[in-house]
Amino acid sequence: MTSFLVGNLSCDLWDLHHFALMGFHRNAKKQGVGEVNLTYPLFSKLGCKVVPIKRTVLNKSHFELLRITKMDIEHRKQKIESYGRAHLDLETALEQFPREMWQFRPAEDQWTIHEIMIHITDSEVNSYVRARRLIAEPGGAVLGYDEGGWAKRLGYHQQSVKDALELFRVLRQATYHLIKDQPADVWKNTVQHTEDGTITMDTWLDTYERHIPEHIQQMQLVYQAWKK
Ligand code: NI
């Protein structure tokens, strides 16, 4: 039998099914079909959230279209806080790297620390727009862009790292304040990305929460290569 981890407890699919059904019927009576919130209180207590894959009709006895979102509420909160702290992490990281090596290119096809910094801000501008589309215009489209092409054709070495860092800080801060108290339903919103297909608000958070730590690691590798 398939088992799921619910909070710290493990329970089998059958139990899960019944918990969810109870929650479904209780909420369905209150809210009516089509607007059923399946977040059963028990799951919330356990730090876990159940969402329907597909809406079903009231009194339907067999309710199988369930999944537990991998990202429970607590986990998401942690991600949001980490997302909001990123500019401090970035500033601290930059202090480790001497300015004289910011334009050092470890290999033909690799970015310099300077380019990574400008990329971070250009990426953040895109992220800023995507978050707002996810919240205000779910179901719409967001544009992918050619990161490498931007770095090559937008004269990244001629742009100011100081300005980029400041712009990044302001953008990130504004979005952090925007997302931190969004209601649970908003996190299920989706948009169509021109290259990646359907992305949810949770996917968006996941991507951009990782973005800065990943690029700090990349900068550290550039620094190691320069030191050699
Ligand atoms: Ni990136």
The structural domains of the chain, with segments of one domain joined by +, span 3-68, 73-227
- CA 122 – ligand 1 centroid, Å: 9
**221 C-alpha to center of ligand 1: Å?**
15
Question: Given this structure, which CATH class describes domain 73-227?
Answer: mainly alpha
Q: What is the pLDDT of residue 8?
A: 30
Q: What distance in angstroms lies between residue 207's CA and the mean position of ligand 1's atoms? A: 9
Cα 120 to ligand 1 centroid, rounded to whole Å: 6
Regarding pTM above 0.95, the answer is: no
- Distant-in-sequence contacts of 164-169, Cβ < 8 A, 24+ apart: 164/117, 164/118, 164/120, 164/121, 165/87, 165/90, 165/91, 165/94, 165/117, 165/121, 167/121, 167/124, 167/125, 168/87, 168/90, 168/120, 168/121, 168/124, 169/87
Structure confidence at residue 24 (pLDDT): 45
Over 80: is that where the pLDDT of 59 sits?
no
Could you tell me whether strands 50-52 and 190-193 are parallel, antiparallel, or unpaired per DSSP bridges?
Answer: unpaired
Tell me the CA–centroid distance for residue 53 and ligand 1, in Å.
Answer: 31
Task: Give the tokens for residue 29.
Answer: 């009576």
Of 13-27, 92-106, 197-211, the poorest mean pLDDT is in 13-27
Residue 121 has a CB neighbour count (10 Å cut-off) of: 19
146 alpha carbon to ligand 1 midpoint, in Å? 11
Beta-carbon contacts of 85 under 8 Å, excluding residues fewer than 6 positions away, are none
Ligand 1 mean position to 62 CA, how many Å? 44
Length of the chain: 228
Contact 43, 50 (CB under 8 A): yes
Average pLDDT over residues 80-109: 96
Q: Lowest-confidence range among 2-11, 74-83, 161-170, 176-185?
A: 2-11
For residue 133, pLDDT beyond 50: yes
**C-alpha 121 – ligand 1 centre gap (Å):** 9
